[in-house]
């Protein structure tokens, strides 16, 4: 039996965590042979609700769960944590953009970045889900100077999965037939889901769909999918967000099957300014991710990639005071 790993989840009494915690506990993230200790963080007024979640986790009698810690103290939640999923943050409502949450949520991530820096395993891998995810991840990483900024990532996997699903439906194929999907940039309405390198069942996506559908249907549908879910459900995506978080962490820890999109610190690749959390095409192997280099970028793509980069620079400027 492997030694248990410690997994911190913030916002653990919220919507996303109500799916996420149970799927992690059942082994969906790190496999059926990896015992886990769940370290659940909430704000003080939500501790009673969190207690209810813990009761339900216990009632599942999950074989992999070795212990559950429920706390309102970030220093306790992140103690020796090997993985952290930072979900706890306010969601947007109808008519809002995700960056409207910057003011409400940014402070959470400076506090938690410090607590991770002071308490977590030196090898911790962090995924930020709470919106605006990319800039919150930047804030957390800047407040954890003893860790490598590459240990902090932002969730773009939901966008990546949405893009695969839209293309599979359009072409009448299955999502598993779609390869080399890329979503560049920010988890926002400026994100760029790029079909330039994408294949479906081995055929170039651009040979299967019309340019007009790509530019005027596919791209806006993926960009606006979060808002469409809020309109339909009356609440933001939860189970699909949890599923994407599991995909992101599983691939990072255990390896990806081809290209996936991850929000990571930009290093200048593809001409993107360093110092923002930008979504790149990556491949994961041996517990690490690496940017896929050398992909051709045409003029249309360059314009889209720069627009989403510009938005991330503006978000960074708005939280400069929290970047340590």
Residue from 37, 39, 78, 130 that binds ligand NAD (CB under 6 A)?
130
**Least distance in Å: CB of 73 to ligand NAD?**
10
The yes-or-no answer on residue 187 being catalytic is yes
Among residue numbers 159 through 198, which ones bind ligand LMR (CB under 6 A)? none
The dihedral over CA atoms of 194, 200, 202, 208, expressed in degrees to the nearest 10, equals -90
- Cβ nearer to ligand NAD, comparing 99 with 197: 99
Q: Which residues pair with 65 in a beta bridge?
A: 36
Stretch that binds ligand NAD, among 87-95, 171-179, 214-222, 306-314 (CB under 6 A): 87-95
Instruction: Give CA 3 to chain center in angstroms.
Output: 26
158 binds ligand LMR (CB under 6 A): yes
Q: Would you list which residues are annotated within the binding site?
A: 11-17, 92, 98, 105, 112, 129-131, 162
Geometric angle at alpha carbon 249, from 88 and 241, rounded to 5°: 50
Nearest residue to 183 (alpha-carbon basis) of 95, 278, 296:
278
229 touches, from ligand NAD, ligand LMR, none (C-beta below 5 to 8 Å by class): ligand LMR
Residue from 236, 261, 279, 308 that binds ligand NAD (CB under 6 A)?
236
**Least distance in Å: CB of 108 to ligand LMR?**
16
Q: E strands along the chain, which residues?
A: 5-10, 36-41, 65-71, 83-86, 125-128, 152-154, 178-179, 182-184, 192-194, 199-200, 203-204, 260-265, 277-285, 288-291
User: How far is CA 90 from each of CA 184, 229, 250, rounded to the nearest angstrom?
Assistant: 24, 16, 25
Stretch that binds ligand LMR, among 22-30, 110-118, 236-244, 291-299 (CB under 6 A): 236-244
Catalytic member of 187, 197, 248, 321: 187
Residue from 10, 131, 136, 149 that binds ligand LMR (CB under 6 A)?
131
CB 79 within 8 A of CB 118: no
């Amino acid at each position: 039996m492997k030694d248990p790993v410690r997994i911190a989840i913030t916002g653990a009494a919220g919507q996303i965590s109500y799916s996420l915690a149970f799927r992690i506990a059942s082994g969906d993230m790190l496999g059926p042979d990896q015992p886990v200790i769940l370290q659940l963080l909430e704000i003080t007024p939500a501790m009673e609700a969190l207690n209810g979640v813990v009761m339900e986790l216990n009632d599942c009698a999950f074989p992999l769960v070795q212990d559950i810690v429920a706390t309102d103290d970030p220093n306790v939640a992140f103690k020796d944590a090997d993985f952290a999923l930072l979900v706890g943050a306010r969601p947007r409502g109808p008519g809002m953009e995700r960056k409207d949450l910057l003011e409400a949520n940014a402070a959470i991530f400076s506090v938690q970045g410090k607590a991770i820096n002071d308490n977590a395993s030196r090898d911790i891998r962090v995924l930020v889900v709470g919106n605006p995810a990319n800039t919150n991840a930047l804030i957390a990483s800047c407040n954890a100077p003893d860790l490598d900024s590459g240990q902090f990532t932002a969730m773009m996997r939901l966008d990546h999965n949405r893009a695969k699903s839209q293309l599979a439906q359009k072409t009448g194929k299955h999502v598993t037939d779609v390869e080399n999907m890329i979503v560049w940039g920010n988890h926002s309405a400026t994100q760029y889901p790029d079909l330039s390198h994408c294949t479906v069942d081995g055929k170039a996506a651009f040979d299967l769909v019309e340019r007009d559908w790509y530019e005027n249907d596919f791209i806006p549908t993926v960009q606006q999918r979060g808002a469409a879910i809020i309109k339909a459900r009356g609440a933001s995506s939860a189970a699909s967000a949890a599923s994407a978080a599991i995909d992101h962490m599983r691939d990072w820890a255990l390896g990806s099957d081809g290209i996936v999109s991850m929000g990571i610190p930009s290093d200048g690749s593809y001409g993107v300014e360093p110092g923002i959390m930008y979504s790149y095409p990556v491949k994961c192997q041996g517990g690490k991710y690496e940017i896929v280099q050398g992909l051709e970028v045409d003029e249309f793509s360059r314009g889209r990639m720069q627009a989403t980069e510009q938005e991330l620079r503006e978000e960074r400027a708005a939280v400069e005071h929290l970047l340590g």
